[in-house]
Chains A and B, each alone.
Chain A
Amino acid sequence: MEPIAVVGMAVLLPGAPDLDTYWRNLREGVDAISVAPVDRWAPELYRPHARASDPEAIYCRRGGFVDEFAEIDAASFGIMPTSVEGTEPDQLIALRVAAAAIADSGGEARLPDRDRIGVVLGRGGYLTPGVARLNQRVRTVHQLVRTLGELVPDLGADQLDRVRSAFTAQLGPSRPEAAIGLVPNLAASRIANRLDLRGPAYTVDAACASSLIAVDQAVAELASRRCDLMLAGGVHHCHDVTLWSVFAQLGALSPSERSRPFDRDADGILIGEGTGMIVLKRHADALRDDDRVYALIRGTGVSSDGRGASLMVPDPGGQVRAIRQAWQRAELDPTEPDALGLLEAHGTATPAGDAAELETLAEVFGPGERAVIGSVKSMIGHTMPAAGIASLIKAALAVHHGVLPPTLHCDDPHPRIADTRFRPIDTAEDWPGAGPRRAGVNAFGFGGVNAHVLLEAAPSSPANVAVVEPEQVLLLGADRPADLIALLDNDDATVRRLTTVDGPSRLAVVDPTPKRLALARRAVANGKSWRGRNDVWWYPTPLAGKTAFVFPGLEAEFAPGGTADVPIGDIGRHGLGVVRLGMLLDANLRRLGIVPDGVAGHSVGEWTAMITSGIYRQDAIDEFLTAFDPDALHVPELAFAAIGTSADRVREALGDHPEVVLSHDNAPNQSMVCGPPARVEEFVTMLRAQRVMCQVLPFQSGFHTPMLAPYLDPIRRSAAEFDLREPTLPIWSATTASPYPADIDAVRELFVRHLLEPVRFRALIEAMYADGYRVFVQAGVGQLTSLIGDTLHESDHLAVAASSSQRDERAQLRRVTAAVWAAGRDRPKQARSVRLNLGGGAPIHLDAPTRNELRALVGAGKKSALDSLAARSPIAEELRSLITETEDAVASLLTARHRESVLRVSTETMPYLLDHCFFKQRADWPDDADRWPVVPATTVIEHLVGFAEQTVPGAVAIEVDDVVLNRWITAIPAVDIPVAVQPVERGQVRVRLGHYAGATITLAKVHPSAGKPWPIPAGERVPDVTGPQLYTDRWMFHGPRFQGVTELTGIGERHVRAVLTTPPAPGALLDNVGQVFGYWVMATLPERTVVFPMHLGTIRFHGPRPAPGTRVDCSVRITSVTDTTVVADAQLSIDGRLWAEFTDWTDRRFDSNPDTVAVERTPERATLSRPRPGGWVLLREYWSDVASRELIMRNHLGSAEREDYERSPLRGRRHWLLGRIAAKDAARTWLWEHGSGPLFPAEVGIGNAENGRPFVYGVPDDHLPALDISLAHTADLAVAMARPAGDGAGIDIEEVTERSPGAVFVALGDAERALFRTLAPKTLWFTRFWAAKEAAAKADGTGLDGAPRRFRVTAAQDDHIDITVDDRTRRVECTTVEHGGRTFVVAWTQNKESQ
């Protein structure tokens, strides 16, 4: 068949709001599966152990969801936001994705004739949210009222009507006009309608094969030449409980709640949702139009199983036919050795489905060169009719980028994979081989319909379609800055994915690049507000106060938007443009919901302020602006200059320049003067000589000076023609620095003064601040924001520009809305996005007043049948009291609303914490803080559970969810942490420990029964270490009260097993699970093996906590490994019965590598620095993130030094620490070489004398011999050396880089230069000279002190340089160090004895 080109693509899938994110997730293997949001279906239907015995029980609640991304910019598609609620959400999502796909193909401008564009979408006939809600309104209400009437025959029609209307009211207003939205084919028709596409538009339903059949149809439309461009794809947004129930009844959902395609233990599907679309053209047309081509569709095949199988059991025969058909159409042989590199399988992870598909693949592709098999369902779940397009887009991206993406959770591949040529991969790989990259895509539907699409890389394709995605705006709020810090303490990708969180402490970042995020982290950590530099805004608390619009006047950088080039010097046109832009922005800002409390202006901008204040009639303004003749404006030819200093200083300087006057007092550091051009030039020249920055402006007039007086009449006349009314907003005058007067005549008088007197903008802003204005929005282009920033520098405020010559208007308004939000205002009506409600048909909860009213109405609260039984039956009596008790408990829980108490964390209240110290110190070390006792995460959890259980007497915690661990809780100094317990819903409470940690805890009367522990996985070996060795060999830092791992039983590729003996300390048993998990990490991963718990998904308990000493079997299964995290599930069993289950235990990985392990385990005998020949040490910065650096810091510094560290400025802290550690290591290395025993880093203190010279001292007492020490650092390297006191130690490290001739001249005297001229290469030698001088000067204790020539180079060899100072000569040794592709010279002074 004729090749068809994929020229555009777009998705909205779990974890991926757009194509770029989707590809990133695919490449990095992101697991986008999560727990079903509560509004999808009632959580009480989740019964994890029920399986198929109860058709109503859904035993799986994990799947793929897109709620966070489900919104639409309705207005931009011409849809009334109010009609969104009644429209089937998938239609709107389809519209959004279709528009994105067209944008990705180059935008509407590149579309062919719209009569020749069609849409084919795969979509099933499911009970989608809109239908479910309609069903609720129509059928459920009717059923409810009828049943109620049958049960309580006393109720009259009025009463039943009241119930009906109360119930319907909870569903929201009825929108008859929206019902049409429920017609399923509208998913395609709405796209055609809104995007004006006039070819065929329809949906197709072939169950899970729908999308690929839609593609097959689209290909046919192109081949027949009825259409020239086709949109094809699939849409599925239905998580209705009926769908889940069907799959649960079929036993098709995964009981392990994980999608593991082609794993030996794959046990079923997870339901996903999503939409994907591709834009297709004939390849010849795409070539002609110079389109970017992701991939070519070379063949499509479609078949049915016929009688070959039952409706639900797939038939390899039918699948084989579909695949062969596609390859035949491509005239390619699937059995060729290099036929394909990737097979994106249907891969649902059901045992029958996987087995049938593997049989098919073995038959069609036979043996041959190894190719990769994958299934995106492992990451996003099964998206049903959209499954095929999710797979096709994945394969097209893979072909396009030449990268083979991974498949998750295929830990132990299915035995029948061995019969095929395919292999699964768990990390991305480059696409090997030189031949054309080909990928096959399968989608097989229920009922026996099969489809296959064969993709091939385009021969060569321009990658030049510029697709402009809107910038991301990150909005994060929190209760307190500390919480915000915790949110930001994640890798950038995670931070960028955080959805808007609200709270009084707010951060906004537009286009959050790594640099901006780094800046944001520093700004938040610093504590002071950050007001917009680099598009970062942060306010620790809301900025309460008024908002002003300030309108700029004529500014040098003004570029009138949209109009033809207007010379800046053309005052009339320029001024007109400024006023018009101001009015436009005023309207746009108000539309976004940003409304001023007052207005002001700078120079001509004050006129704009008057106009927008409503003081003039709008029609009069329009008339004036239309009739205004810019050329009729006559002003004197006087020059302005901006002067970078205060008005006071300018006035002083003006003394000798009588013809020049001060025209503007703009800000503490900016004024303006005006006068005849030559005089202004003289004035400016004089000031520049005094180092004052000055800029003559490119326009002339005499505004705001008495020199305008002769020209005033025409302006005054036209102003007088305007009627004045009372303004709707206060206008602030920059002439008087106060609000405009109320009196009309006074206003006219002020209008004239404004033209003749200086602009006092600084005083104006100060007065407005004093009046309570805090937010200043600059409605125009210019520098008012920096003038305001300069004036209010010390006072908290926000000044933000709504227009900029740097950016288009939408981008700039995006910044305004972000800034205003950060300052604590309501979120502006950003981008008109409307959220889509994807929940449908979830049970309706009556609100309390309605419930009480209806209860009274239907007579509830009367004696129940149980009550009357209780009188006769003791069993009924017991049951009744149990129910009452539970209800009471729950009721008290719900009415408790909020409980607060305090947890004191200290080594007195929790002495066992001394066995949970991160760092080792000398046995008799006086300061336990240096050991850093920290509350283990699991102890935190035990405490959270304890607090939860206290709220309902007799209740036990059966499940712990969503454990968040924000920060370490350190026990020294003691800290009192507020505990808040908040009921969430029936039987659930959320417990929070200050901003440190929190969890949701489910309470019940009894523990639920447990399933069976996992079987022992295959391929296990005996670990290299025993349980006790974990502690004796310092694999773990834990002391006796936390040492519960008594036996390491077995370890495998993705699991580890152990036996624990329950230790006595609270939380210690759970901590031991973490230790076993941590052992797997250390024994298995090559680096970054320092791990600490960060998050725990779920813990389920099936019995009471075991007594200390109880033997517990522990089994840990690793589920995911990334650069930053490792995730595992775990089980604890006692006597073969499951006691506790852990899901998604996530450990964060910190920097460590084989070179640092020794220091982590035995810091008293090891150094991070490496000794070098010549008696010095070299340290490179192994750690890359701040969190890792903190750990390294605490392992090396004692308390006094830690205080120094905290006091050192944030910038430079890195190097400070690097130098410190190198110096300690140098000293300790020297001491060890001279007979010292073990020495902890904290025992060797490094201080700085007043002249900056470092010295060594013993901690806690002076137990060290006197030493001279020297250190130096550059980039991420530090060097240090120690010598006996008096020898003089000097060391320096410098990078070999190009230096200017000036530097050589300054550094070297005549004789040195003569020597230097004989040496090559110059850069190396100059660096050697310089480093040697530094080293010698340090050894002297003086430093270069600004006189490098004093330290003369008198001899130079490759490995040493002689430095002579005042007739004393010192030999300095040199060597080079290669690091990170750069070369460094290290120079150090020789030992005295060897000189």
Chain B
Amino acid sequence: MSSPELAVDEQAVLDDLTRMIAIVLEDIGPLDAEITPDTTFRDDLDLESIDLVALGGLLGEQYGDRVNFAEFVADLDLEEIIALTVGDLVDYVLASLRAED
């Protein structure tokens, strides 16, 4: 999307992420209702680091330069990456977008 929609609230970002996760999981992953801020990438979704690369790419497409997933995970150690939740990423995206406003 070249002109990203203004993502305005947690729900909107969560919806975006849910859609991206669905793409990474080839559309047959968890149902929307199963993805909540508490969902963990590793234990619940069984995503591996290479899947996070794909997710990072989708985040870039959606939000442009404002959201840099690579920088986000660079600050985390392996344990923290493993324990990442969808909610952590929502917070990060919101913070990044807010920083731009």
User: Which A residues are closer than 8 A to B by beta carbons?
Assistant: 515, 518-519, 522-523, 526, 528, 530, 533-535, 556-557, 642, 644-645, 667, 669-670, 684, 687-695, 783, 785-787, 789-790, 1209-1212, 1214-1215, 1275, 1297, 1299-1300, 1302-1303, 1305-1307, 1330, 1346-1348
- CB contacts (< 8 Å) of B9 on chain A: these are 1299-1300, 1302-1303, 1306-1307, 1330
Ordered by A's residue number, 9 sampled pairs between the chains whose C-beta atoms are within 8 Å are A526-B26, A688-B70, A691-B69, A691-B70, A693-B52, A1211-B27, A1300-B9, A1306-B6, A1348-B8
Contact B70 A693 (CB under 8 A): yes
- CB contacts (< 8 Å) of A693 on chain B: these are 49, 52-53, 56, 69-70, 73-74
Contact A556 B28 (CB under 8 A): no
Contact A1300 B26 (CB under 8 A): no
Assuming A688-B74, A693-B73, A694-B70, is B60 touching A530 (CB within 8 A)?
Answer: no
- Give the residues from 1 to 42 in chain B that come closer than 8 angstroms, CB to CB, to chain A: 5-6, 8-11, 22, 25-34
- CB contacts (< 8 Å) of B84 on chain A: these are none
Contact A519 B28 (CB under 8 A): yes
Smallest distance from the beta carbon of A611 to chain B beta carbons, Å? Answer: 27
Contact A691 B60 (CB under 8 A): yes
- CB contacts (< 8 Å) of A667 on chain B: these are 50
Cα-based distance from A1275 to B56 in the complex (angstroms): 27
Contact B78 A556 (CB under 8 A): yes
Cα-based distance from A1299 to B7 in the complex (angstroms): 13
- CB contacts (< 8 Å) of A785 on chain B: these are 48
Contact A687 B101 (CB under 8 A): no
- CB contacts (< 8 Å) of B8 on chain A: these are 1303, 1306-1307, 1348
Closest to A698 in B: B78
Contact B50 A783 (CB under 8 A): yes
Partner of B68, one of A523, A691, A1210, A1211: A691
Contact B34 A515 (CB under 8 A): yes
Sort A-B residue pairs by CB-CB distance and give the 6 closest, nearest first: A1303-B9, A644-B53, A786-B48, A1306-B8, A1302-B98, A1346-B6
Closest to A684 in B: B74
- CB contacts (< 8 Å) of A1305 on chain B: these are 98, 101
Partner of A644, one of B30, B50, B94: B50
Contact with A along B44-74 (1 / 0, CB 8 A): 0110111111101100100001001111011
Assuming A669-B54, A783-B49, is B68 touching A688 (CB within 8 A)?
Answer: yes
- CB contacts (< 8 Å) of B48 on chain A: these are 783, 785-786
Smallest distance from the beta carbon of A1299 to chain B beta carbons, Å? Answer: 5
- CB contacts (< 8 Å) of A518 on chain B: these are 31
* Extra 16 A-B pairs, beta carbons < 8 Å, given A644-B50, A1302-B9: A530-B28, A534-B45, A642-B49, A644-B53, A669-B53, A670-B53, A684-B74, A691-B69, A691-B71, A693-B53, A783-B49, A787-B50, A1305-B98, A1305-B101, A1306-B6, A1306-B98
Cα-based distance from A528 to B98 in the complex (angstroms): 40
Contact A1306 B101 (CB under 8 A): yes
Closest to B59 in A: A691
Closest to B76 in A: A695
**Is B89 among interface residues, defined by CB-CB distance under 8 A?**
no
- CB contacts (< 8 Å) of A1347 on chain B: these are 6
- CB contacts (< 8 Å) of A787 on chain B: these are 50
Cα-based distance from A523 to B60 in the complex (angstroms): 28
- CB contacts (< 8 Å) of A1300 on chain B: these are 9-10, 94
Smallest distance from the beta carbon of A785 to chain B beta carbons, Å? Answer: 8
Closest to A670 in B: B50
Closest to B24 in A: A533
Smallest distance from the beta carbon of A796 to chain B beta carbons, Å? Answer: 13
Partner of B6, one of A645, A1211, A1348: A1348
- CB contacts (< 8 Å) of A528 on chain B: these are 26
Most chain-A Cβ atoms within 10 A of its Cβ — which of B5, B11, B28?
A: B28
Most chain-A Cβ atoms within 10 A of its Cβ — which of B9, B78, B98?
A: B9
- CB contacts (< 8 Å) of B5 on chain A: these are 1346
Most chain-B Cβ atoms within 10 A of its Cβ — which of A533, A535, A1211, A1214?
A: A1211
Assuming A1212-B32, A1302-B94, A1306-B101, is B27 touching A669 (CB within 8 A)?
Answer: no
- CB contacts (< 8 Å) of B51 on chain A: these are 786
Contact B10 A1299 (CB under 8 A): yes
Partner of A1211, one of B31, B52, B54: B31
Contact with A along B71-101 (1 / 0, CB 8 A): 1011000100000000000000011011001
Partner of B30, one of A515, A690, A694, A1306: A515
Cα-based distance from A533 to B44 in the complex (angstroms): 10
Smallest distance from the beta carbon of B96 to chain A beta carbons, Å? Answer: 10
Cα-based distance from A556 to B82 in the complex (angstroms): 12
Cα-based distance from A533 to B50 in the complex (angstroms): 13
Partner of B28, one of A522, A644, A1303: A522
Smallest distance from the beta carbon of B32 to chain A beta carbons, Å? Answer: 6
Smallest distance from the beta carbon of A793 to chain B beta carbons, Å? Answer: 10
Closest to B53 in A: A644
- CB contacts (< 8 Å) of A687 on chain B: these are 70
Assuming A693-B56, A786-B50, A790-B50, is B70 touching A644 (CB within 8 A)?
Answer: yes
Assuming A515-B34, A526-B28, is B71 touching A688 (CB within 8 A)?
Answer: yes
Smallest distance from the beta carbon of A1349 to chain B beta carbons, Å? Answer: 9
Smallest distance from the beta carbon of A692 to chain B beta carbons, Å? Answer: 6
- CB contacts (< 8 Å) of A690 on chain B: these are 70
Cα-based distance from A1302 to B92 in the complex (angstroms): 12
Closest to B60 in A: A691
Closest to B98 in A: A1302
Cα-based distance from A523 to B10 in the complex (angstroms): 29
- CB contacts (< 8 Å) of B57 on chain A: these are 691
Contact B97 A1302 (CB under 8 A): yes
Partner of B25, one of A533, A691, A786: A533
Contact A786 B60 (CB under 8 A): no
Closest to B18 in A: A1211
- CB contacts (< 8 Å) of A1307 on chain B: these are 8-9
Contact B53 A523 (CB under 8 A): no
Cα-based distance from A785 to B46 in the complex (angstroms): 13
Cα-based distance from A398 to B46 in the complex (angstroms): 38
- CB contacts (< 8 Å) of A1346 on chain B: these are 5-6
